[in-house]
Chains A and B, each alone.
Chain A
Amino acid sequence: MTTCPDNIVEVRDLVKTYRRGAQVVPVLENITFDICEGEFLALMGPSGSGKSTLLNIIAGIDKADSGTVAIGGVDISSLSETDLASWRSLNVGFIFQFYNLIPVLTAFENVEMPLLLTGLSRAERREHVEIALGVVNLTDRMDHYPSQLSGGQQQRVAIARAVVTDPRILVADEPTGDLDRVSAQDVLGLMERLNHEFGKTIIMVTHDPRAAERAHLVRHLEKGVLNDVRS
């Protein structure tokens, strides 16, 4: 992990403050760092330190006050809302703490969702969904609704949904935060595999030291400032 052939993420002078009435809350103060293509990065830090905020800005669902974020050479801080939405659908896979599956859609339909924004035919979509569900080992559950699946299974469906469009980056905000140990190990193993086998760059926010162990690199965010800690 000493050589970095290519930076996929370049964050420069990122500043983000929230205003609560008259009170100004600084969350990110001049954050600058890079992420290598193929990296598995864990972001740690105390609650309220701005981990989710930083992750959201990198993933293009939140905007910084100033500074730039370039991903694969594209400056996403300058994209319009609409362009950003289609950029996200092609380049970023999202994994959330609470899975965020749509309850009225089956596992298959949830995984198919991101593909509906592409020009793929029905048959092509089916093929992609089956591959993705195969990777997370849930092909036999594809007609189940989220309420019929365990937490760990739901998170695996969510991972299938995140990778079905074959994005270069996966962002995960406490992906094991709501899971028991065994399910958490499952999910982490899966993420490791996606990093290793499929070369996905992963940025994972976590409180769990066991989760952080799986990453190549751990960074600490504290009081709006980022520190390196190699694992």
Chain B
Amino acid sequence: MFVLKLIIRNAFRHKLRTGLTILGVAVAIMAFGLLRTLISAWYQGVESASASRLITRNAISLTFTLPISYGEKIRSVPGVRKVSYANWFGGIYISEKNFFANFAIDARNYLDLYPEFVIPPEQKDAFLTDRKGCVIGQSLSERFGWKLGDPVTLRGTIYPGQWSFTVRAIYQGAEKSTDESQFFFHWDYLNEVMKKTSPGRADMVGVFVESIEDADRAAEVGRSIDELFRNSLAETMTETEKAFQMSFVAMTGAIVAAIQIVSYVVIVIIMVVAANTMAMTARERIPEYATMKTLGFGARYIAGAIFGESITISLVGGLLGVALSFPAGTWIEHSLKQFFPAFAISTPTIVLDLVASVIVGTVAALFPAWRGTTINVADGLRRIG
């Protein structure tokens, strides 16, 4: 009780010093939390990927396609329930900075395989019956103000030319983590044009998507699919959607690692700053601690007072940092929507923030507490004069 009173009053004795320390910790913890959230947003696509869907691609690399005829053979593999396919289209809307993912899809089957894209039935019908129709995500529609019936023209990069579509359906994600920024149109439309302009590229598919009966047998089914095409002209590589997504993220693994390191560096820096402040504060209080010792207060009282003060300050900073990270997170979510469909500060991140701030407070108090508890009473008293 007494130590608690001492901690609180001591903590707010130098209002400016304490205020600045709290602010420093708050900003550091906020940065830490946002960087952690950034990393998890990065992996969000992977997290939301289904383990019961397989992706088959050309074994050489993603940029190589597969003949559409493979679809029939894949369908015959035991354990495969449904097969669909899609091509990465890589179309650009006006300019590169408007980037969003767009795919040519085997319309009916593909949407069946992705129940997380929720589309009103009449819109879905409208899309299926319009060969030049497209389905867009809710956030994409908000971003460019596209409504049902609006025309949209994309400039092809992989498939040259101007490609005109009409928005026929807008999907919403079943989960918060569902990516609502994608654009889908009919593979048949793409293939029709290819047949006319570059027949060599017709009837080719970027990836096959398969749903399987038993997620636990994914590896086995994938192996049987790849077995089918062994030694053929285009060998395949089948993996779960999760693993497939992961290979994208892995490409940027170095960046993620860098962000991870930076997030810890931020904590280390604030630790050093807080330790310095705490050391300065404790040095000034040596005569007070010596007085307490003279009166018979043991080391645990002194250590309790020093640790308590340090942890109180850093925890208040941590709480403030957590509070600040919500508006900051919302702002980031708005401005980086096309990259991170879901930028939400999770409970584990908040817990991690608070744990980090307690660690900062504890580490900052280590040296002062050691000094305060081990200093000779007579020497400590002498400092007053």
Q: List residues of chain A with CB under 8 Å of any chain B CB.
A: 52-53, 56, 61-62, 82, 85-86, 88-90, 94, 96-98, 100, 102-105, 109, 113-114, 116-117, 161
Contact = CB atoms under 8 A, between A and B. Distances in A.
Interface string B326-341: 0000000000000000
Contact of A98 (B293, B294, B384): B384
Given A56-B378, A61-B378, A89-B296, A116 B2 contact: yes
A90 B2 CA distance: 19
12 contacts: A56-B377, A61-B294, A61-B381, A62-B378, A82-B298, A85-B296, A88-B294, A94-B294, A96-B384, A97-B385, A100-B287, A100-B294
Contacts of B297: 85, 113, 117
B291 interface: yes
Interface of B: 2, 5-6, 9-10, 13, 287-288, 291-298, 376-378, 381-382, 384-385
Given A98-B384, A100-B381, A104-B6, A88 B298 contact: no
B291 A100 contact: yes
Given A104-B6, A116-B2, A89 B378 contact: no
Q: Which of B287, B288, B294, B296 has the most CB of A within 10 A?
A: B296
A85 B298 contact: yes
Closest 5 CB pairs of A and B: A89-B296, A104-B9, A62-B378, A61-B377, A100-B291
Q: Which of B10, B291, B292 has the most CB of A within 10 A?
A: B291
B295 A113 contact: yes
Q: Which of B6, B9, B13, B381 has the most CB of A within 10 A?
A: B381
Contacts, number: 66
A117 B6 CA distance: 15
Contacts of B378: 52-53, 56, 61-62
A82 B293 CA distance: 10
A65 to B, nearest CB: 14
A103 B293 CA distance: 16
B347 to A, nearest CB: 36
B149 to A, nearest CB: 71
A92 to B, nearest CB: 9
Contacts of A88: 294-296
A62 B376 contact: yes
A166 B288 CA distance: 22
A89 B298 CA distance: 11
Nearest to A82: B298
B288 to A, nearest CB: 6
Contact of B296 (A96, A103, A114): A114
A100 B296 contact: no
B313 to A, nearest CB: 15
A89 B295 contact: yes
A104 B288 CA distance: 11
Nearest to A118: B296
A84 to B, nearest CB: 9
A62 B10 contact: no
Nearest to B9: A104
A116 to B, nearest CB: 5
A155 B48 CA distance: 70
A96 B378 CA distance: 12
Contacts of A113: 2, 292, 295, 297
B2 A98 contact: no
